Structure 1
Amino acid sequence: MSLGEIFSDAIKYPFSDITNFLIVGVLALLASLTSIITSFGIENSIVAILAAIIAFIFTLVLSGYSVDVIKKGIESSNDFPDIDLKENLLNGVKALIIGIVYMIIPCIIAFILMAIFGVVGAGIDHVVGSLGLASIIIIIIFILFAIFEVIALARFANTKELGDALNIGEVIEDVKRIGILKIIAFVIVLILIAMIAAILVSLFAFIPYIGVIIVTLLAGAFMTLFANKALGLLYADA
């Protein structure tokens, strides 16, 4: 499947069911409750703590729902997944674990490289000289593991087995099958479309009081559905 076909299908997907689109938007609102409270100038500490707890829970729920959207993409289905708060929350926790694991590894590698290059514990003159090359290598490693994380999440969506997502050897094989250049091109196009969508939706921000709510609802729902459907379609090529 070409990238053009992937993004054409993925852009249409969020608008194929407006009712469920709005429901997903409500989940996105709850996941962004802290920033919404802040935008309204509410500074009550108890309200802020409660908002943060609710936002964290629904961030996990939305993440777990995203996993189901990826699965729909893998199946080339245009149906919206059912919302199951308990199941979504559990999958969201597993998705968080996947993200942590795939970020811990490059962090450890980065620390080792800095030690090898003499950055750790060195004087400022030596640090400046060594940091350039080390930074380039570290950035490349983080990009690679970010790619691995994305594909690992798709593997998890496909089987719902955490072990499959954490099997880095199989993840690398999936990356090879899809093609790393195709994945990089996919990410670049995804970011560009997301930026255009953000600019369009941001026009609603000028509406007093409810503008931030509308923006969060529309942008949250669109990105959850569009980006994850596109990832599922991409992974289906593996």
Structure 2
Amino acid sequence: MDYKELLMKIFAGEINMNITEIIKDAFLFPSKNTGRFAIYLLLSVLMVGFALGGIFTYAFGIIDAENYLMGGVYLLISLLIGCIITGYHIKIIKSGIELDDNVPVFELYKDFMTGFDNYIVSLFYFIIPALIVMLVSFDTNLFGNAMEVVKEFVLQIYGVYFMDIPIEIAFISISPLLTDFLNSLAITLTAAFIVFLIFSILQLMAEARLANTGSLKEALNIFEAAKDITRIGVGKVILLLLAVVVVIAIIEIILIIALTFYPFLLSVLYIILTPYMVLVSQRALGLLYSDIA
């Protein structure tokens, strides 16, 4: 096998199930058991409701001991429900890996424990890119440049108001400092986009590994997660992600156009559609991973 053929295999992957089949299966899957989807929908609404309750309590309530405690309770309940939901996501992925057409049942304790593992996976695959971006920001002196712009701005404002310096002259000195800041910001944001995109895909593979093996250790093996992408095929992974995003976007655009004058109905459909699409995405990931499981 020459290098060109090897590169083609790495990029394209051995396609056991094509993108169209995955998309079709994934979009139909949550509707195969409306009762279990209804439970998932209820849990999702409760999770968001308690999270908003906690946020609003802190944002608009009087910060006394009672409100502070209630806000924390709301957020904790949201977190606990979120554990159950993310644990159920792993079950959905596993159903795709095993090509099982049955929508999984809820097992609250088991789903909670699996969801806790999934939280650890998410945190692990977030911390690494966050540290990389922080190092880039230090290397580009992003914060230093920002402070220089702020300091010079304050000095020039002082000069304009208290020393009668013409405003068109006062802010000339800020221009090179602002250029340095914008350059460092552009480099940091570009690095952040690339790094977080890569680690987001790695996290998807990690979740699939957790579903396939049930092992947190295997899910945190970042090198094997990267190898899984090449085993499936970089091209197939990217194409599936793009296909899911595009199909969801098209559905949302159609809904917005069709229900522009019915905002209440549009809101209700969004409340139903958003959790549905999450399950679609998880099922699609499982089906994708079934190629190498």
TM-score (norm 1): 0.84
Cα distance in 1 for partners of 2:100, 2:264 equals 36
Whose radius of gyration is greater, 1 or 2? 2
Unaligned runs of 5+ in 2: 1-16, 55-59, 62-66, 150-176
Matched residue, 2:116: 93
Letter in structure 2 aligned against 1:67: I
- Measure how far apart 1:121 and its partner are: 2.6
What is the root-mean-square deviation of aligned Cα atoms in Å? 2.7
After TM superposition, the structure 1 = structure 2 runs for residues 92-171 of structure 1, keeping only pairs within 5 Å, are 92-122=115-145, 123-124=148-149, 125=177, 126-171=180-225
Please name the residue that 1:79 is paired with. 102
With over 3 angstroms needed to count, the CA separation of the structure-2 counterparts of 1:86 and 1:75, relative to structure 1, is same
Partners of 1:115 and 1:37 lie apart in 2 by 37
The C-alpha deviation readout for 1:78-136, integer Å capped at 9, x for no partner, is 11112111111111111111111111101111111222233343444233233323432
1:60 to partner: Cα distance: 1.4
Q: How many Å separate the matches in 1 of 2:36 and 2:81?
A: 16
Question: Residue 30 of structure 1 aligns with which residue?
Answer: 46
* CA separation of 1:58 and 1:220: change in aligned 2, threshold 3 A: farther
1:55 paired with 2:96, answer no
Distance 1:35 1:115 in 2: 33
Structure 1 pair 34/113, CA: closer, same or farther in 2 (3 Å)? same
Assess, with a 3 A threshold, how the Cα gap between structure 1 residues 111 and 53 changes in structure 2: closer, same or farther. Answer: closer
Does the CA contact (< 8 Å) of 1:62 and 1:88 recur in 2?
Answer: yes
Q: CA deviation at 1:48?
A: 5.8
Q: Would the aligned equivalents of 2:121 and 2:206 in 1 still touch at CA under 8 Å?
A: yes
**% identical equivalent positions:** 28
Q: Structure 2 length normalisation: TM-score?
A: 0.70
**What is residue 192 of structure 1 aligned with on the other side?**
246
Change (3 A) 1:200 1:52: farther
Distance 1:167 1:121 in 2: 36
Q: 1:26 to 1:106 in 2, by over 3 A?
A: same
